[in-house]
Amino acid sequence: MNTKRNRVIILAKRPNGIPKEEDFRLIETDIKECKEGMVLVKTLYLSVDPYMRGRMSGIKTYISPYELEKPITGGVVGEVIESKSSDFRVGDFVVGNLNWSDFNTVDSRELRKVDPDIAPISTALGILGMPGLTAYFGLLDIGKPVQGETVVISGAAGAVGTVAGQIAKIKGCRVIGIAGSDKKTDYLVKELGFDAAVNYKKISDIKKEIKNNCPNGVDIYFDNVGGEISDAVMPLLNYKARIILCGQISQYNMDKPDIGPRVQTYLLIKSAMMKGFIVMDYADRYEEGIKQLAQWLSEKKLKYIESIVNGLENAPKAFIGLFKGENLGKQLVKVS
Ligand code: NAP
C-alpha cells in the first residue's frame, strides 16, 4: 500500500458565467491501491480545455457532466510508477482521461502509450493529441481544402486553430487567422506562415477587416468561437463554402442561448455547408491522424507552441485563462 498523499482538484460549485477559482477546491486523499490489471500513474502534465466548461454546467451533452464534490477529469500525460498490468512497465509514459490529481490508479485499458522519441511527451495533449486531431479531421474531412482556396480560422492562435491553419497552408490555401492580441496575430503570420491575421479586440469593424483580407471571399471557415466573429464571416462566403463548426467558446459562459443573425439565407444562396462535429466521431481514425501529424512535425511542416502554468493547484487558474485569451497555443499545467 502506497503511503504518499494525493492532491486532487474537485468541482466545488457549478460556475455562473466565467468560472472562478472558488468553483474548485483542492483536497487530499490516499492513493488508491494498484490491483491486478491496474497501473499507478504520476501526473506530469494535465490539459485544460474549453469543452470542460460545458461539463461543469451539469447538463448532459455528448459527454456526462462533472459531479459536484468529485474530481475534475481531463487529458493527462504521466509516468507509470507501479504496474500490475502486462501492458505497461514502470517508466512508461502514458496518456489518458484521468483525474486532475498528483497520482491516478487506473485500469491499464484506459491508457495509451506515449513515445518520447517522436516528440516531447506534452505534445500528446496538444498537437499530437486531441486538439491536433480536431484540427486534422475538422479541416480535412469537413473542410476538404483545395489549393488556392481562402480559409478563415477563428480562435486561430489556440491549440486547435494553430494546427488547423498550418494544415491549410500545407494544402496550399490562403489562410487568415482571427485572434485576440497583437502578440498572437504576429505569431500566426511571422512564425506559422499565415497570410494575414486580424486582432478582433483592436478593430471596430470586424467584417470590413476580414473582407479586406479575403479579396476572393471565404471558401472555408473553421469556427472555434462563434458569436459576432462568425456573424461577420457569414456574408463573405463563396459558392459551395464549407463551415466547420468546431467550437463556440464565446457562448460557453452564457446562461441563455445567444440570438444572432439568421444564417440560413447565407448558406442557401451560396449552396454552402455548415457541419458540427466532435473529434470523438473520428476515434477509429486517430492512429492515422497522429501518424500524419507526427510526420509533418518531423518534416518541420508543422510547428507548435505551449503555454505552461506550473503546479496542480494552479490548474483552475489556467483553465479560467482560456476564457480570457491568456494562452498562445496549447495551455498545459505542469504538475511534476
Ligand atoms: P484555445 O483556442 O487554445 O483556447 C481558447 C481561446 O479562445 C483563448 O485563448 C481565446 O483566444 C479564445 N476566446 C476565449 N473567449 C473568447 C470569446 N468570447 N470570443 C472569441 N475568442 C475567445 O482552445 P482550443 O482547445 O484550441 O479549443 C478551441 C475551440 O475548439 C473551443 O471552442 C473548443 O471548445 C473547440 N474544440 C472542439 C473540439 C471538437 O471535438 N469539436 C475539440 C477540441 C476543441 P483569443 O485571445 O484569440 O480571444
In 3-state terms the chain splits into helix, strand, coil percentages (rounded to 5) of 35, 30, 35
Domain ranges, ordered by start, for the chain: 5-126+304-334, 130-280
Which of these, 106, 102, 100, lies nearest to 85 by C-alpha position? Answer: 106
Q: Is the CB of residue 197 below 6 angstroms from any atom belonging to ligand 1?
A: no
Which of these, 150, 141, 155, lies nearest to 168 by C-alpha position? Answer: 150
Which atom belonging to ligand 1 lies closest to the Cα atom of 276? 41
Identical fold between 5-126+304-334 and 130-280: no
Q: What is the pLDDT of residue 4?
A: 75
Q: Is the CB of residue 96 below 6 angstroms from any atom belonging to ligand 1?
A: no
Q: What is the pLDDT of residue 45?
A: 98
User: Could you tell me which CATH number the domain at 130-280 has?
Assistant: 3.40.50.720
DSSP label at 62?
Answer: S
Residue 165: what are its φ and ψ, rounded to 5°?
-65, -40
What does the alpha-carbon distance between residue 156 and residue 329 come to, in Å, rounded to a whole number? 9
* CB neighbours of residue 88 within 10 Å: 19
Cell numbers given for 267: 448558406
Q: What is the pLDDT of residue 62?
A: 87
Q: What is the pLDDT of residue 140?
A: 98
What tens-digit pLDDT sequence spans the chain (336 residues)? 455 789 999 999 999 999 999 999 999 999 999 999 999 999 999 999 999 999 999 888 888 999 999 999 999 999 999 999 999 999 999 999 999 999 999 999 999 999 999 999 999 999 999 999 999 999 999 999 999 999 999 999 999 999 999 999 999 999 999 999 999 999 999 999 999 999 999 999 999 999 999 999 999 999 999 999 999 999 999 999 999 999 999 999 998 889 899 999 999 999 999 999 999 999 999 999 999 999 999 999 999 999 999 999 999 999 999 999 999 999 999 999
Closest residue to atom 30 of ligand 1, CA basis = 247
Which atom belonging to ligand 1 lies closest to the Cα atom of 178? 47
CA 62 to chain centroid, in Å, comes to 16
Q: What is the pLDDT of residue 125?
A: 98
- pTM score: 0.98
Q: Is the CB of residue 277 below 6 angstroms from any atom belonging to ligand 1?
A: yes
Q: Is the CB of residue 131 below 6 angstroms from any atom belonging to ligand 1?
A: yes
Contacts of 55 (CB under 8 A, 6+ apart): 63, 64, 65, 66
Q: What is the pLDDT of residue 59?
A: 87
Q: Is the CB of residue 102 below 6 angstroms from any atom belonging to ligand 1?
A: no
The verdict on domain 5-126+304-334 having CATH code 3.30.1310.10 is no
Q: Is the CB of residue 157 below 6 angstroms from any atom belonging to ligand 1?
A: yes
Q: What is the pLDDT of residue 3?
A: 58
